[in-house]
Structure 1
Amino acid sequence: MTTFQTVDDLEPDQRLLVRIDINAPVEDGVVQDNRRFARHAETIAELLENDHAVAVLAHQGRPGRETFVPLEGHADILADHLEREVGYVADTFGEDALAAIDALESGDVLVLENVRMCEEELPEEEPEVKAETEFVQTLRPEFDAYVNDAYSAAHRSHASLVGFPLVMDAYAGRVMEAEYTANSAIREREFDGTVTMALGGTKAEDLIPVIERVDDTVDRFCLGGIVGELFLRADGQDVGYDVGGTDFFDHQWENHRETIERVLAEYGDRLLLAEDLAYEDSKGDRAEETVEEIEKDTSYLDVGSETADRYADLVRDSEAVFVKGALGVFEDERFADGTVEVLSAIADTDCFSVVGGGDTSRAIGMYGLDEEEFSHVSVAGGAYVRALTGDALVGVDVLERAA
């Protein structure tokens, strides 16, 4: 049960400052469309139907990275989803931004510049500190209310996420509301049958706490990806280390070896490890070998067919299934089998299911699966992990305080 105000509580015809998360891949300097645009466009469209004027705050990349670009392209993509004109101003809270905000009328949408181009946005500081920044204090009087729809960034204590709810009326958007409700259910809902979780991805520090904190809910964990290889290494297999110039395994093994070995010993047969792995052979084709016969001299890019079939069978025998992280490099069709077989098994099964992680959820659309076949598809990554482990989300906390 949510304890914050939602857009249902808004009076119509107001000027709203709306924080969304449309952080997206950038290729050759051009931002690419992704599922987040579509999800947030639904929130904005509903606000426009209620005669609100909307100014959008969002971020893209981090300073110093190639993905750190202005939001002009984001405004164009948002316009395509909304099927209406969306304004853009290359300023966040300076004179140009204030003039554009002042000109907003009911039904207008304006995208302000990348908030991470503001010096006061990024440092992780207490909400009370962020509320006193010039950024927040300048924009505050220009709006009737603030709406946070950026659940996927709700674990960040940045000015645009935590400052405004302390100084003005604040509400949760539809994405924030839906994500919070669905992801909280993982810890709070009780199931009579077997609960399975598929865990993959690249970061051991993300997934180890999940295993430890949801063990009362989840009966078995199916591991894949780089994390799965690290656990295979702990199990004595000749994998889980860097070869050919990769930099995925050795530093994580050094930092987390004791924890990985302890978790493997403690959870025993509840942790299911890959029986075979797939790689690219000399002809560029997918090839597989069982873990017992592996002497690692190449990168493994997916769980093998036997493992994928085994995991899919376990999914079909479950009352609930949760997914965090891909089991392989699904962006390459040759190495999508593990991820797609598990997702397809979920879609074919009448179970409660949550697929989390912005990257993993992309596989649903890429491989022609119907999002309606899943109970919830989360666009969140870090915030989803926090929800699984029960850690507080500061962006949610300040909305609750505002209420």
Structure 2
Amino acid sequence: MTLSWKENLPQELQEKITKVEKKIQPRLEEIDEQVLYNQQRVLDLFRKHHVGEEDLVPSTGYGYDDIGRDKLEAIYADYFKVDDALVRPQFASGTHAISTALFSMLRPGDTLYYLTGTPYDTIQEVIGLAGNKPGNMKEWGINFATTELLDNGEVDYENAKKDIMDPSIKVVAIQRSLGYAVRASFTVAKIKKMIKFIKEYRPDVNIFIDNCYGEFSEVEEPTFFGADIMAGSLYKNAGAGIVKGGAFLVGRKDLIEGAGSRLTVPGAGKGEGPTWGYMRDMYQGFFMAAHTTGEAQKGMIYTAALCEEMGMNVAPKWSDPRTDIVQTVTFGDPDPMIKFCAAIQHYSPMNSFVDPIPYHQDGYEDKVVMASGSFVEGSTIELSSDGPIRPPYRLYIQGGLSYAHAKIAITRAVKDTFYQD
């Protein structure tokens, strides 16, 4: 007798799953090759830097002479092909790392310019475009400018040629992932073109990359092509679902030193900062990141293919290149969107008994519905979904520590949303 995870599913859905599994197999094999390449690079760096048990010993207090922390930052710098890194549990989130980097580079009267259009909600709060919370850039006299994207979601280079010439612009930012926008996430190839454009017209500015959701999603990273500083979260790709908090910055040595002084204090800079009990998780998370990111990408390829088979509008398509771990599914109506999100919560390992209810969350303009039955609060390398309750009622699904979990949860979400018992 052969047991199957598809038992108790409607026959029509079982047939769709079989069709999808066959169709996406070549794409899954491509992800496997990507994982092998990135995993080898990580393994080679662990060997090069002689990582040993002593590097996992935590520091306390000031955190001076933390050899494990310093070695891990050297590994990050090597992996991303930059001078230096700041990999710390003291960062509360990826947004905190982004804010730290931007404030360290900008002064009153300077302008922060986004080449990729208006950033997502939480960064708008940092800038002062929304929320009007104390301490934002607007309050500090730091200006903001952007060139909005074209209707097709691509950079408007013609208008950007004029906008970027403002001499007050000191930092040009590029947002890799889509946030709550309707555009596609930008591949590294497209970011490479953006970096070349910026260097041609404004070689004097610092190029900042918001790389959240992007690490290990391709075999190249934006820093390979001249980005000056880049941020990411440790409870997204680079932490592999193992790290319980923190974020990182990688980039040019002087910029990392400046960010270190912003995170701690001038003088001590990145020389301070205890790691408590985090080092084992941070090393193991980075070691597992290539594999776990690949698992998440496989889950999102399956999600795209099955939802498309159900007649839904998805982006990216299952066959499209992947540059992050995010999949969007457009419902056109709030009810099925909320129902689908709830099903993901119900097929999560944590808090499966909870019903997601749309609510106003700090940092967001509209009510947001969110499913996150994760072991680490807010972890989006673990399977989760969220979206603002506004047209076109699009759900942003991301993560999955294992392809198997994502496959089961998404299948059940399709069943619970579109098939009546």
TM range (shorter): 0.3 to 0.5
TM-score by structure 1 length?
Answer: 0.33
TM-score by structure 2 length?
Answer: 0.32
